[in-house]
Structure 1
């Protein structure tokens, strides 16, 4: 399991997104973020050029959730149940703490950016931990040996991105975690039986 890392940057990101959800993006100030994250102005500007730069930190927020889950997850869970758990917890966090309009804006910005697309960065904790889980499942035979880890990782990540996109497109009119809880087992069943 990847080593848990806690950072000042992570605290700033969590504080910012908490405030964006509670106060709205426009009403949140850099000073609010600094106060909630218990950092200094210099520290804030070391990591971010301004409040707008935090809009590109959605992947940091997702990874921060994964960091929190690392210490809580039962290490004896199967890969199948681990993936169900991680998905449920991440999606619950998204639907209860991130404004759906910000999610929509962030996802659309990933389509047009010429810069780094953070949601596809395979160096993120999200991808490294998922890769570990999938590698173990393929090695132990829990997932079909005819499937490559790269293929499974791509399908799983694509599934999650598409679920979040659709939820944002529908303006959050349904429970993301509940809907995914009904659909994800069908995806994981293909991992077990082969694609």
Structure 2
């Protein structure tokens, strides 16, 4: 049952963000979201108070992408290559399916919200899976034991948030995934050799 609830909410979130990208936030109605997600009005309002509540669901969208990637990724990849792959795929999804203005709004709202800051929620799949990957790499010696798993996880998450922030600040004038694919290897090299 929890799996079905998760996939229903995920369908609503994916449909909403797809419509926000194609029609803009103001051009998207709750009815549009309900139709595209193939849910009912009652189901929609069970998960969200309204369209505005979906703006805080960006982390759900990211976790949905991670869930897809988890089932596709080669389990024999090194942690280094796994992190490169996850970053490339997540950033490609962001730049090709999320309006840059909404990203900018969401990042700024996380700074002033009195509610839960979803981008920092360590119970998300994003953090749990990254912790698992990094922890195994530290234990196996792929990443230097000079830094703890927590420290490396924090650095990686900070890197991704800062890249997304800069991309939004620059109004998406460059390819997020391409630029990151040039920079991330340098940071991951420090994970290997020690910070």
2:113 matched residue in structure 1: 113
- Unaligned runs of at least 5 residues, structure 1: none
1:12 matched residue in structure 2: 12
Give the drift of 1:6.
5.0
2:129 matched residue in structure 1: 129
Asked if residue 78 in structure 1 is aligned to residue 57 in structure 2, the reply is no
Q: Distance in 2 between matches of 1:136 and 1:19?
A: 38
Count of aligned residue pairs for this structure pair = 192
Q: Distance in 1 between matches of 2:145 and 2:48?
A: 43
1:183 matched residue in structure 2: 183
Runs of 4+ in 1 over 4 A off after TM superposition: none
The normalised TM-score by structure 1 is: 0.97
The normalised TM-score by structure 2 is: 0.97
2:146 matched residue in structure 1: 146
C-alpha distance after superposition, 1:168-191 (max 9, x if no partner): 000000000000000000100000
Q: Distance in 2 between matches of 1:63 and 1:144?
A: 27
Q: Distance in 2 between matches of 1:96 and 1:177?
A: 10
Asked if residue 173 in structure 1 is aligned to residue 173 in structure 2, the reply is yes
Asked if residue 95 in structure 1 is aligned to residue 95 in structure 2, the reply is yes
C-alpha distance after superposition, 1:22-56 (max 9, x if no partner): 01100100000001101110000000000000000
2:52 matched residue in structure 1: 52
- Unaligned runs of at least 5 residues, structure 2: none
Give the drift of 1:147.
1.2
Q: Distance in 1 between matches of 2:51 and 2:114?
A: 20
2:25 matched residue in structure 1: 25
Residue 122 of structure 1 aligns to a residue whose secondary structure is coil
